Amino acid sequence: MSSDLAWVPQSCTLPTEQRPLRVAEWDELFTERLTALSRPEPLRLHLDLAGGPGVEERVRDLAEREGCCCSFFTFTVTSAEDLIGLDIAVDQRHAAVLEALAVRTVAGGQR
């Protein structure tokens, strides 16, 4: 599991023992809900997630908690009828973290 967390930056303030649980939450969301991924800008990742009962609240909650421990992320959640949009942006210093997240997202969505 430690190799799964190698991309987590040291600036993350989430306690180390909670990190695998948070990664699992993201992985579960990607596996269950990811319909599309794009990189509209080098420092921004856009995800389309299938909507459904409680999904928007789940995405907003997870993004809020992640933003609290990894303040370099900027999350924007939008919703349409059956689609939740999640934009994830970082500053230049954290570009590698965003790239690692994009790779992990694609892998999760292909499960």
Domain extent at residue 67? 12-109
Which helix (DSSP H) or strand (DSSP E) does residue 92 occupy?
Answer: none
Does some domain include residue 1? no
Does some domain include residue 7? no
Residues 29-49, mean pLDDT to the nearest whole number: 95
pLDDT of residue 2: 38
Q: Cα–Cα distance between 20 and 78 in angstroms, integer?
A: 27
Q: What is the pLDDT of residues 49-106, one digit of tens each?
A: 999 999 999 999 999 998 888 888 999 999 988 999 999 999 999 898 899 889 888 7
Does some domain include residue 16? yes
Phi and psi of 21, rounded to 5°? -70, -40
Q: What is the CATH number of the domain that holds 85?
A: 3.30.1360
Total structural domains within the chain = 1
In the sheet that holds 44-50, the strands lie side by side as 34-41, 44-50, 83-89, 74-79
Q: How many angstroms separate the first and last alpha carbons of the chain?
A: 18
pLDDT of residue 3: 44
